[in-house]
Amino acid sequence: MTANLKSEICNRKLVVLLSGHGSNLQAILDACASGELGAQVVAVISNKPDAFGLERARRANVPAVVKAKSKTQDRRAYDTELADLVAAYQPDCVVLAGWMRVLTMAFLQRFPNRVVNLHPALPGTFPGTHAIERAFEAYQRGEIRHTGVMVHLVPDEGVDCGPVLAQEVVPIHADDTLSAVETRIHVVEHRLLVETLKKLSANLANYFGGSQL
- Residues lying near ligand GAR in the complex (CB under 6 A) are found at 18, 20-24, 53, 97-98, 118-120, 131, 160, 189
Cα 130 to Cα 211: distance, rounded to the nearest angstrom: 36
Query: Is 152 marked active-site?
Result: no
The CB-of-2 to ligand GAR minimum distance in angstroms stands at: 35
Residues near 160 by Cβ (< 8 Å), separated by ≥ 6? 117, 119, 121, 126, 127, 128, 131, 152
- Cβ proximity to ligand GAR: between 24 and 104 the closer is 24
Nearest to 95 by CA among 175, 19, 167: 19
- Candidates 21, 119, 146, 186; catalytic one: 119
The CB-of-210 to ligand GAR minimum distance in angstroms stands at: 29
The CB-of-209 to ligand GAR minimum distance in angstroms stands at: 26
- Cβ proximity to ligand GAR: between 158 and 209 the closer is 158
Residues near 207 by Cβ (< 8 Å), separated by ≥ 6? 93, 113, 114, 200
Residues near 138 by Cβ (< 8 Å), separated by ≥ 6? 126, 144
The CB-of-104 to ligand GAR minimum distance in angstroms stands at: 16
Residues near 1 by Cβ (< 8 Å), separated by ≥ 6? none
- Cβ proximity to ligand GAR: between 38 and 98 the closer is 98
CB closest to ligand GAR, residue no: 98
- Cβ proximity to ligand GAR: between 125 and 212 the closer is 125
The residues carrying an active-site annotation are: 119
